Chains A and B, each alone.
Chain A
């Protein structure tokens, strides 16, 4: 690989200060450092440095996302076949899934990357690896039927308004992928609710036994005196189906099992905060438990949904593992993460159960808590300062 390195290095003079392509230096830097590690040595401070850099940090998130992504592709194809009443081999499902999902993913990366590069060149900052994660997270939260122009608009809003206007990765206070998703959700509600969760094959009629409703949608639409959980079971979704994930839904969010695999990778490598994940679960359990206690035959049926169902349906698992743990938009301090995660769990259940307009509460809960993260940090830090013996002049 030495020849490639020397080749890349031989172009460096074109991008240096005062040279012809000076403005494109961030692009050159990104291409070089994606291929080869930097040969920079320490100038000040500690003479030795840790091997971990932001590239590795972000790539580990992408690796943790691979299981849900691959499964999402398979499931998108599988649901499509199921809806048409056909059966195919695993290969057929995967090919169909790739055809459904790849255009969404590529649009997201291409348009998001364009904005990232544009801002890097104009604002003269490096191209940040964080976009590799945002560009993958966003498509995973979308239904397979999403029009590509909405993907492009959504990721543009997420990258520009959610991140770049504040100065880029590290200075944003909202999760860019969720900002993108929220933009699409509120701008084009028809495309993100109703029968959008399965990509139907053209020329094939949908078999009558197939319902493309998600368990969450079913629970939200249950009317008294029916029981929400019975309604989900009657629609053919067992708790196990929801756990394994072979059900309609957003591409990446259906499988709780594979979200757990992702969580194991994130926690094992120290990239994701286990505190946030655990406290999210605790929040859901606490709030759903509380609702179960007050639920009667005259209250909203969603109040009766038990904690375990709350944890397994919708995109809670995906949100808690991959979205809530985004280090930039979550609070800095470990103690704050407990509060932050717990409130995400609580808000998720409240929004799901009490607000019938938004059956999926995770997205809004996380975005809302992103906004409160600095406030939580402030009080936790003040509390820490109180315990210190003052040292000031």
Chain B
């Protein structure tokens, strides 16, 4: 790994979006009902070990990953299992727990990390249901507990519009993050923490426990995969683990209190400007408890505007989500819009006038595709914005031609699925989904 402390990007994707959450923080009390959805864990095969009607304790295991049978997911509250919902192919969608309370928590054995070995730390994390906080490159799956990572990369800012920001709560959690980093140093030789250079916060204390990298560029560069790509010096470093600052807070607080720590910070961003702020919630809180206003034409997204998943008002905040975005989803048919100067058309190019205004004002967001799908015209916009310097057009052709080996040579596995190539494509080709599918297929083949 290169020992850089600053990464500066030369890529051209400079565009800000309207609807940034502010730093205000409200605490949402423990809800009556929570739903635990593993939608953010793409590759797990969940096996539920409780039944409908069972009473569960806060911190008790609910389901585990059959592919990685040591990895359990624990209940954030005490209550009664109300429902277990399966989707197509018996994929676990959620475990719903009602009559929730914060009381009667399962007490874990006290753990002193100061002299613990790597194996002791791993088993302590497994026992407390914390190991699923880690992900492994390049597939973003939960790593195997037996594996020793070449490095762990901690994400301190996620500037993709719009995620919860550490700078909003840093005073409360800085000590926990440092404890978490100390623990990570027992798991690997190299702990790297990175933060957006534009996010105002003092990270001097954090820098003493990790290699702190400030990232100067758009959101796609400020991402674990991109940072790994920029720092790696050898193919052996490709399998780094990643986690974010909220995971460190959860790990540190659970280990300290010997009780499962069930709080999470989330940000609400997008159209409903008066609600755009930070919230502290219990994992799995219903969306309706957080967002009270409801408009049928809006789309709700868990996660960022580029990589988040589609959701509705009736859902529960999934595990490891740190934001809800609400954006307008009712595009109007405009007459001859391709002939207009386009002051309001969002664009990173200067094909519309708005492209000249990007640096002066945030772009309004909507879910409109803004055109119809066509064949690739080789405009080269995707290559110009890719944070990990892949050749998306070439990879697209490789994948269409069933030659994933060739796509890997051009950097398929370095791809972070930031979604910027999909955003910029004038032919409206969903490149990042095509790459994600190719990687998922590859993952299934490798782990068959």
Q: Which residues of A contact B (CB under 8 A)?
A: 1, 4-5, 29, 33-42, 44-57, 59-60, 125-126, 128-130, 167-171, 268-271, 273, 327-328, 330, 332-334, 377, 381, 384-385, 388-393
Taking CB atoms, residues of chain A closer than 8 Å to B233 are 389
Taking CB atoms, residues of chain B closer than 8 Å to A269 are 349-351
Q: Which residues of B contact A (CB under 8 A)?
A: 17, 138, 232-235, 238, 299, 301, 305-308, 310, 325, 327, 329, 331-339, 342, 345-352, 354-355, 365-380, 383-384, 389, 391, 393-394, 405, 408-411, 413-414, 419-420, 422-428, 430-433, 442, 446
Contact check, A47 vs B305: say whether CB atoms are below 8 A apart.
yes
Contact check, A52 vs B369: say whether CB atoms are below 8 A apart.
no
Q: Given A52-B349, A52-B351, is A39 in contact with B370 using a C-beta cutoff of 8 Å?
A: no
Measured CB to CB, the nearest residue on chain B to A168 is B375
Interface of A, secondary structure class, is loop
Task: Report the minimum CB–CB distance from B265 to chain A (whole Å).
Answer: 22
Measured CB to CB, the nearest residue on chain A to B332 is A39
Taking CB atoms, residues of chain B closer than 8 Å to A334 are 380, 383-384
Contact check, B335 vs A38: say whether CB atoms are below 8 A apart.
no
Partner of A392, one of B372, B394, B409: B409
Task: Report the minimum CB–CB distance from A287 to chain B (whole Å).
Answer: 27
Contact check, A59 vs B425: say whether CB atoms are below 8 A apart.
no
Taking CB atoms, residues of chain B closer than 8 Å to A53 are 338, 370-372, 374, 426-428
Please report the C-alpha to C-alpha distance between residue A205 and residue B343 in the assembled complex, in whole angstroms: 54
Q: Given A39-B332, A50-B346, A54-B374, is A45 in contact with B432 using a C-beta cutoff of 8 Å?
A: yes
Task: Report the minimum CB–CB distance from B431 to chain A (whole Å).
Answer: 8
Contact check, B367 vs A391: say whether CB atoms are below 8 A apart.
no
Of B338, B368, B373, B424, most A-chain CB atoms within 10 Å: B338
Taking CB atoms, residues of chain A closer than 8 Å to B342 are 51
Partner of A381, one of B327, B370, B391: B391
Taking CB atoms, residues of chain B closer than 8 Å to A33 are 372
Please report the C-alpha to C-alpha distance between residue A381 and residue B406 in the assembled complex, in whole angstroms: 11
Number of residue pairs spanning A and B whose beta carbons lie under 8 angstroms apart? 226
Task: Report the minimum CB–CB distance from A357 to chain B (whole Å).
Answer: 33
Contact check, A268 vs B350: say whether CB atoms are below 8 A apart.
yes
Contact check, B375 vs A332: say whether CB atoms are below 8 A apart.
no
Contact check, A49 vs B368: say whether CB atoms are below 8 A apart.
yes
Task: Report the minimum CB–CB distance from A45 to chain B (whole Å).
Answer: 4
Task: Report the minimum CB–CB distance from B362 to chain A (whole Å).
Answer: 12
Please report the C-alpha to C-alpha distance between residue A169 and residue B426 in the assembled complex, in whole angstroms: 14
Taking CB atoms, residues of chain A closer than 8 Å to B419 are 45-46
Task: Report the minimum CB–CB distance from A134 to chain B (whole Å).
Answer: 13
Please report the C-alpha to C-alpha distance between residue A122 and residue B373 in the assembled complex, in whole angstroms: 18
Measured CB to CB, the nearest residue on chain B to A171 is B375
Q: Given A47-B308, A49-B423, is A41 in contact with B380 using a C-beta cutoff of 8 Å?
A: no
Partner of B426, one of A48, A50, A388: A50
Task: Report the minimum CB–CB distance from A276 to chain B (whole Å).
Answer: 11
Please report the C-alpha to C-alpha distance between residue A35 and residue B338 in the assembled complex, in whole angstroms: 9
Contact check, A47 vs B442: say whether CB atoms are below 8 A apart.
no
Contact check, B351 vs A57: say whether CB atoms are below 8 A apart.
yes
Contact check, A51 vs B346: say whether CB atoms are below 8 A apart.
yes
Partner of A49, one of B232, B301, B414, B428: B428
Please report the C-alpha to C-alpha distance between residue A389 and residue B150 in the assembled complex, in whole angstroms: 15
Taking CB atoms, residues of chain A closer than 8 Å to B408 are 391-393
Please report the C-alpha to C-alpha distance between residue A29 and residue B373 in the assembled complex, in whole angstroms: 12
Please report the C-alpha to C-alpha distance between residue A393 and residue B377 in the assembled complex, in whole angstroms: 31
Of B348, B370, B383, B432, most A-chain CB atoms within 10 Å: B370
Taking CB atoms, residues of chain A closer than 8 Å to B234 are 389
Q: Given A40-B372, A57-B379, A391-B238, is A48 in contact with B430 using a C-beta cutoff of 8 Å?
A: no
Please report the C-alpha to C-alpha distance between residue A228 and residue B331 in the assembled complex, in whole angstroms: 61
Partner of B377, one of A45, A48, A169, A384: A169
Taking CB atoms, residues of chain B closer than 8 Å to A5 are 333, 335
Task: Report the minimum CB–CB distance from A216 to chain B (whole Å).
Answer: 31
Task: Report the minimum CB–CB distance from A48 to chain B (whole Å).
Answer: 5
Taking CB atoms, residues of chain A closer than 8 Å to B394 are 332, 377, 381
Partner of A1, one of B335, B351, B427, B431: B335
Taking CB atoms, residues of chain B closer than 8 Å to A333 are 380, 383, 391
Task: Report the minimum CB–CB distance from B186 to chain A (whole Å).
Answer: 27
Taking CB atoms, residues of chain B closer than 8 Å to A4 are 335
Please report the C-alpha to C-alpha distance between residue A49 and residue B337 in the assembled complex, in whole angstroms: 15
Contact check, B411 vs A391: say whether CB atoms are below 8 A apart.
yes
Taking CB atoms, residues of chain B closer than 8 Å to A49 are 368-371, 422-423, 428
Q: Given A37-B333, A45-B419, A392-B408, is A51 in contact with B380 using a C-beta cutoff of 8 Å?
A: no
Measured CB to CB, the nearest residue on chain B to A38 is B372
Taking CB atoms, residues of chain B closer than 8 Å to A38 are 331, 333, 368-372
Q: A36-B335, A381-B410 are in contact. List 13 more A-B contacts (CB 8 A).
A: A5-B335, A37-B368, A37-B370, A38-B370, A41-B331, A46-B305, A48-B346, A50-B348, A51-B345, A52-B347, A56-B338, A129-B374, A328-B378
Can you offer 11 A-B residue contacts whose CB atoms are under 8 A?
Answer: A36-B336, A37-B370, A38-B371, A38-B372, A41-B369, A46-B305, A53-B370, A270-B351, A334-B380, A381-B391, A389-B234
Please report the C-alpha to C-alpha distance between residue A269 and residue B345 in the assembled complex, in whole angstroms: 14
Contact check, B422 vs A45: say whether CB atoms are below 8 A apart.
yes
Please report the C-alpha to C-alpha distance between residue A367 and residue B36 in the assembled complex, in whole angstroms: 60
Contact check, A385 vs B409: say whether CB atoms are below 8 A apart.
yes
Contact check, A52 vs B426: say whether CB atoms are below 8 A apart.
yes
Of A5, A52, A327, most B-chain CB atoms within 10 Å: A52
Please report the C-alpha to C-alpha distance between residue A116 and residue B177 in the assembled complex, in whole angstroms: 61
Q: Given A52-B426, A54-B426, A332-B380, is A392 in contact with B405 using a C-beta cutoff of 8 Å?
A: yes
Taking CB atoms, residues of chain A closer than 8 Å to B307 are 46
Partner of B352, one of A29, A56, A126, A381: A56
Contact check, A270 vs B349: say whether CB atoms are below 8 A apart.
yes
Please report the C-alpha to C-alpha distance between residue A129 and residue B348 in the assembled complex, in whole angstroms: 21
Measured CB to CB, the nearest residue on chain A to B355 is A270
Contact check, B337 vs A37: say whether CB atoms are below 8 A apart.
yes
Please report the C-alpha to C-alpha distance between residue A46 and residue B338 in the assembled complex, in whole angstroms: 22
Taking CB atoms, residues of chain A closer than 8 Å to B349 are 50, 52, 269-270
Taking CB atoms, residues of chain B closer than 8 Å to A393 are 408, 413, 442, 446
Taking CB atoms, residues of chain B closer than 8 Å to A130 are 377
Please report the C-alpha to C-alpha distance between residue A114 and residue B329 in the assembled complex, in whole angstroms: 37
Q: Given A5-B333, A42-B367, A392-B409, is A51 in contact with B299 using a C-beta cutoff of 8 Å?
A: no
